[in-house]
């Protein structure tokens, strides 16, 4: 898959890396990136030689959320984000996933990374749950995973305000993830992956299943409520106008 917008490669013994690199869309959830991630995670889950996965982006981008076309389609009442389960790929992967978020994590792209088992942020990058900037309520399981991973107070602020936060600021706010200079994020991810890869695969799979039980159990109900909120908030004419305006900049 070396020519794909999603590249899968072995970086250490028992360690696979999934690299998102849709440079045309800047790692928004284009059809190519979405399909590539779903297919690649399916391949990883079927590989008995894999004990750990590192998920990362390219240059200054980790993942940038929905495309303008997808958001306008949702605002017109066509489909739902649940039509393709992109957001919980890392959660459903049987082996531990490390999100090496070396670049910006925007909206659903930030949420995608938070569903990993271990998250590493960069000091310089922007992280945001920016759904409300467009006028619609959060989706992609954000209302479930953000409070669990960031704490209720910070998660609520991020979702209501839709503000941008540098990794350095989130570190000052007390998040529990490592926050490092961008050029050190992958180094730390590889170090952690090597430590995990020393363990028996069955033990890693079993422990991951146990540690994620509460998140996995809560997610379907929260996603159902997010879809219901979208049915209320997406059809507003203001939302379509905001999407068109913000994507012009």
Tell me the catalytic residues: 230
193 contacts 98 by C-beta, under 8 angstroms: yes
Residues 17-22: contacts with CB within 8 Å, 24+ apart?
Answer: 17/53, 17/54, 17/55, 17/56, 18/44, 18/53, 18/54, 18/55, 18/56, 19/56, 19/57, 19/58, 20/55, 20/56, 20/57, 20/58, 20/61, 20/62, 20/63, 21/57, 21/58
Distance CA 126, CA 123 (A): 8
Distance CA 43, CA 12 (A): 17
Angle at 161 between CA 158 and CA 166, to 5 degrees: 50
């Amino acid at each position: 898959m070396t020519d794909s917008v999603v590249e899968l490669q072995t970086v250490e013994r028992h360690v696979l890396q999934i690299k998102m690199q849709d440079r045309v869309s800047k790692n928004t959830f284009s059809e190519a990136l979405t399909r590539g991630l779903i297919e690649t995670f399916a391949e990883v889950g079927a590989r008995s030689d894999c004990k750990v996965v590192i998920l990362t982006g390219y240059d200054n981008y980790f993942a940038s959320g929905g495309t303008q076309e997808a958001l306008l389609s949702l605002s017109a009442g066509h489909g739902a984000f649940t039509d393709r389960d992109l957001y919980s790929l890392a959660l459903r992967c049987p082996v531990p996933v490390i999100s090496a978020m070396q670049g910006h994590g925007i909206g659903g792209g930030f949420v995608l990374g938070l569903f990993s088992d271990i998250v590493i942020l960069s000091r310089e990058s922007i992280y945001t749950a920016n759904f409300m900037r467009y006028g619609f309520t959060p989706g992609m399981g954000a209302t479930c995973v953000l409070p669990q991973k960031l704490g209720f107070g910070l998660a609520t602020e991020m979702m209501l305000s839709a503000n941008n936060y540098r990794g350095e600021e989130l570190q000052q706010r007390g998040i529990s993830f490592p926050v490092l200079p961008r050029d050190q994020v992958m180094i730390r991810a590889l170090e952690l992956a090597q430590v995990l890869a020393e363990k028996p695969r069955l033990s890693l799979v079993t422990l991951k299943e146990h540690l994620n039980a509460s998140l996995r159990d809560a997610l379907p109900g929260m996603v159902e409520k997010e879809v219901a909120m979208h049915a209320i908030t997406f059809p507003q004419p203001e939302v379509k106008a905001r999407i068109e305006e913000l994507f012009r900049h």
